[in-house]
Amino acid sequence: MCLEIRKTCKCGKNDAQFHMRDNVLSQKVIAELYCPECSNQAEFNPDTMLGDNDWIIEYDMDLARFMTVSKLMLEPEAVRPGYLFDSGYACWLEMYPGEKQDILEERTEIMGLQKTDPTRYLQEISSWNIARIERLKADGWRKAMAA
Ligand SMILES: [Zn+2]
């Protein structure tokens, strides 16, 4: 079972859903979240923080090390913010925060074709999906780059 966890950013204007693979880590490991509007308030510390475009996740690295070392037998030095994110133990649930909403909006137009022209709908939806992933990679979203 994977828990879905939502956290509001420091300024309170935005939130993001997190994926905590296998529940190895608890929600407390995500110490702070900075959205594009408040990330300039954060003094970026690569030892505890991970930046993804204009978002910053700050981890409680002591807690994260304690949990990963005891549950996964990892070497403490191997546990870095990038590892917590890339391994899926504490990363975005979506490709980036707000992706689901963007998808709904972008797809509305294509969905209209579903009834009128099903063949074209399938072509459009598949090329839209490919183009979307390419765009996320070009934008530099960490999960898209790793996909
Ligand atoms: Zn914010």
What is the rounded average pLDDT for all residues in the chain?
94
Could you read off the pLDDT of 75-113 as tens digits, one per residue? 999 999 999 999 999 999 999 999 999 999 888 889 989
| 40 alpha carbon – ligand 1 mean position (Å) | 10
Residues measured by CB to lie within 5 Å of ligand 1, the ion? 9, 11, 13, 35, 37-38
What tens digit of pLDDT does each residue of 17-72 get?
Answer: 999 999 999 999 999 999 999 999 999 999 999 999 999 999 999 999 999 999 99
In the predicted structure, residue 118 carries a pLDDT above the cut 90: yes
Q: Which residue intervals of the chain are DSSP H helices?
A: 61-72, 81-86, 99-111, 113-116, 118-139, 142-146
Question: Is pLDDT of 117 > 90?
Answer: yes
**Residue that the structure tokens 């963007």 belong to:** 102
How many angstroms separate the Cα of 28 from the Cα of each of 24, 46, 98?
12, 19, 22
Other beta carbons within 10 Å of 143:
20
Q: Are 81 and 49 in contact (CB under 8 A)?
A: yes
CA of 81 to the centre of ligand 1 (A): 20
CA of 8 to the centre of ligand 1 (A): 8
Residue 3 has pLDDT above 70, yes or no: no
Q: How many whole angstroms from 82 Cα to the centroid of ligand 1?
A: 21
Which residues share a beta bridge with 3? Answer: 20
